[in-house]
Structure 1
């Protein structure tokens, strides 16, 4: 008779061990996938809140235009100055014409 060593396992035991390993790996990668998705979503949310190039250019243009206007008004002050309160209005807000005219 052949002696059975502890390291030798029956096919059923080997299959159970494989299944256990596969289950552990599946749980690990499932958690890793969830963690990876959360990190990616966090990064994209951060990027989504940053201004796009159009917004950056128009804001820069508005700042430059405001500074030039202030300098011109300081150099040659007008007799009458009309300044409507349109602080929330942006350069490309064409859909707010009625509000702008009312102001």
Structure 2
């Protein structure tokens, strides 16, 4: 049998809240942008070339969309992908996301 490398876990304070998932932050930002523009899920999904169900799942943080899908949805909302990622980064930095969040590898 080979040696197993063990990495010591870093102690975490009990009061530290886990960070939200990137997909949840992206979803909230897309939903906010859509609602601010007073557009329906169906309208934005159609313009982005995705199903209404899929866009709903993205907005709720249930799906991990590709950069192509994010670009299409952002474009349907009149945003560039860089605009979306900047907004999400600001949201995460400000701590204005509800619920836990971490980046998935």
Q: TM-score, normalised by structure 1?
A: 0.25
Give the structure with higher Rg (CA): 1
Give the structure, 1 or 2, with the largest relative contact order (CA under 8 Å, sep 6 or more). Answer: 2
